[in-house]
Structure 1
Amino acid sequence: MKKRVTLSFPRHSVQMPVTYRLAKDFNVAANIIRAQVAPNQMGTLVLELLGDIDEIHEALEWMRSQEINVSIASGSIEIDENRCVDCGLCTGVCPTQALTLDPETFRLQFARSRCIVCEQCIPTCPVQAISTNL
């Protein structure tokens, strides 16, 4: 099972090796999508978790017990085809290649099944054609 989560760390938890503990203690693979973590400051980490549903649930409970705020993504990316100009800027930041340009037509292609809703494409779009549907 795959699950995308956003973790918000308080200052005292920033130094904790969370991704290591997820793999070692819970057998959950953690793909880091976005990270904003600095010593002695609050931190934010967007992860794609991959593993057995029960192990992911246990890992989420452990993180909450460590005072890490866990937010589970439930939305999806939406592309307004009337606004999109097929510039391809979003394809360069998409970590899963859910956004690509068709090599023949140069039109934007969106593979929804590959999208992990990391939202990196949203601020990249110059015409604001990409948004989330929560």
Structure 2
Amino acid sequence: MKKRVTLTFPKNRVPMPVTYRLAKDFNVASNIIRAQVAPNRTSKLVVELLGDIDEIEAAIEWMGLQQITVSLASREIVIDEESCVDCGLCTGVCPTQALTLDPETFKLNFTRSRCVVCEQCIPTCPVQAISTNF
């Protein structure tokens, strides 16, 4: 099972090797999608957890005990097709190739199943046609 979560670390927990502990203690793989981490600051990670549902739930419970706030990431990327000018700038920053340009029509294609909601495309769009929903 896969579960995408946002982890918020208090500044005293940033040095903790969380992804190592998830793998070693809970047999849960973690794919870091987005990270905003700095010493002595509250930090955030958007992580995709992969493993058995019971192991993922145990890992989430453990993180809560470590004062790490875990929230389900349920946002999705939304593209306003009326505003989009099909410039393709977003395709250059998309790490999963969820955003591509059709080679014949040069129209933007969005493959939602590939999107990991890293949000790198949002600030790249010159006409602000890309956003997230909640």
Given that 2:84 and 2:129 are in contact with CA atoms closer than 8 Å, whether structure 1 keeps it comes out as: yes
- Which residue is 2:113 aligned to? 113
- Which residue is 2:30 aligned to? 30
- Which residue is 1:71 aligned to? 71
Q: Tell me the TM-score normalised to structure 1 length.
A: 0.92
- Which residue is 1:2 aligned to? 2
- Which residue is 2:60 aligned to? 60
Code of the aligned partner of 2:88: G
Q: Number of aligned residue pairs: give it.
A: 134
Q: Tell me the TM-score normalised to structure 2 length.
A: 0.92
- Which residue is 1:133 aligned to? 133
Given that 2:33 and 2:116 are in contact with CA atoms closer than 8 Å, whether structure 1 keeps it comes out as: no
Aligned-pair distance for 1:52? Answer: 1.6
Unaligned segments of structure 2, at least 5 residues:
none
Q: d(CA) in 2 for partners of 1:21 and 1:87?
A: 42
Given that 1:33 and 1:95 are in contact with CA atoms closer than 8 Å, whether structure 2 keeps it comes out as: no
Unaligned segments of structure 1, at least 5 residues:
none
| Identity percentage of aligned residues | 78
Superposed CA RMSD in Å reads: 1.3
Aligned-pair distance for 1:118? Answer: 2.2
Given that 1:35 and 1:44 are in contact with CA atoms closer than 8 Å, whether structure 2 keeps it comes out as: yes
